[in-house]
Amino acid sequence: MFAIASNLQAILQRIEAATAAARRPAGSVALIAVSKTFPAAAIEAAHAAGQRAFGENYVQEALAKMAELEARRALTSGADRPLEWHMIGPIQSNKTRAIAEHFDWVHSVDRLAIAERLARHRPAHLAPLNLCLQVNISGEATKSGVAPEQLPALARAVSLLPGVRLRGLMGIPEPAPEPTRERSAFAALRVLRDVLREAQIGVDELSMGMSADLEPAILEGATMVRVGTALFGVRHAV
């Protein structure tokens, strides 16, 4: 678990260096630690090293870890620094209730029906669920995400729902051999965000960049980077 603390410091330094290179204010990029496939003990180690926000892709796996951490945290001083949970994986409609009850953010909303279900299932005693719309920025047939042409209508409809708060956009560019192609996909997401803002749809966050490409993402305006491998190590198939 020593590696997690030193990996975390290395990632925070990468983020800081890229933020400075982009001439953006220090602290303007948040790290989401992507803990899918890793056990609750790994999350606990990252939390002990100062990390608060965690991203998970699979609902059942996430709920099991949340319950385990809750039980352990009752015994430790970690209880006064709560974890923040981000759902970043594809969403099945039969999982929206569990997501709305247990997560703080959802990055992977790509259709209105899912946003409506999340809004309906968000418990009234919790703050509105923070949503990002996942956009298909590389135009691949297989990847999830709303098509850029359909984004404005979706964003407007989601922004009117109670129980949820539209916060930003998320994108995963197609891996490209030339880094410039990936960087232009990040730039495209930023432009889409700015177009929505001009249309008075308040979206501030850009969730883009992972272990291998957080620097170009930050140069193009990422406000949240989602990092797994560089923090926890190589994932094994589940």
Ligand X SMILES: *Cc1c(COP(=O)(O)O)cnc(C)c1O
Near ligand X by CB under 6 A: residue from 145, 163, 173, 228:
228
Residue 182: CB atoms within 10 Å = 23
91 contacts 99 by C-beta, under 8 angstroms: yes
14 contributes a contact to ligand X by CB under 6 A: no
- Assess 210 for contact with ligand X (CB under 6 A): yes
User: Residue 54, SS3?
Assistant: strand
List the interface residues with ligand X, window 39-68 (CB under 6 A).
57
155-194 residues in contact with ligand X (CB under 6 A) are 172
| Contacting residue, 18, 34, 115, 192, with ligand X by CB under 6 A | 34
What does DSSP say about strands 84-87 and 129-135: parallel, antiparallel, or unpaired? unpaired
The answer to the question of residue 88 lying near ligand X (CB under 6 A) is: yes
Q: Which stretch binds ligand X (CB under 6 A): 44-52, 91-99, 184-192, 210-218?
A: 210-218
The residue whose two tokens read 């996942």 is 134
**Could you give the C-alpha distances from 114 to 60, 91, 181, in angstroms and in order?**
18, 8, 30
Q: How many Å from the N-terminal Cα to the C-terminal Cα in the chain?
A: 21
Choosing from 229, 236, 237, 238, the residue that interacts with ligand X (CB under 6 A) is: 229
**Amino acid symbol at 32:** I
Q: Which residues sit at the interface with ligand X, rule CB under 6 A?
A: 34, 36, 57, 88-89, 172, 210-212, 226-230
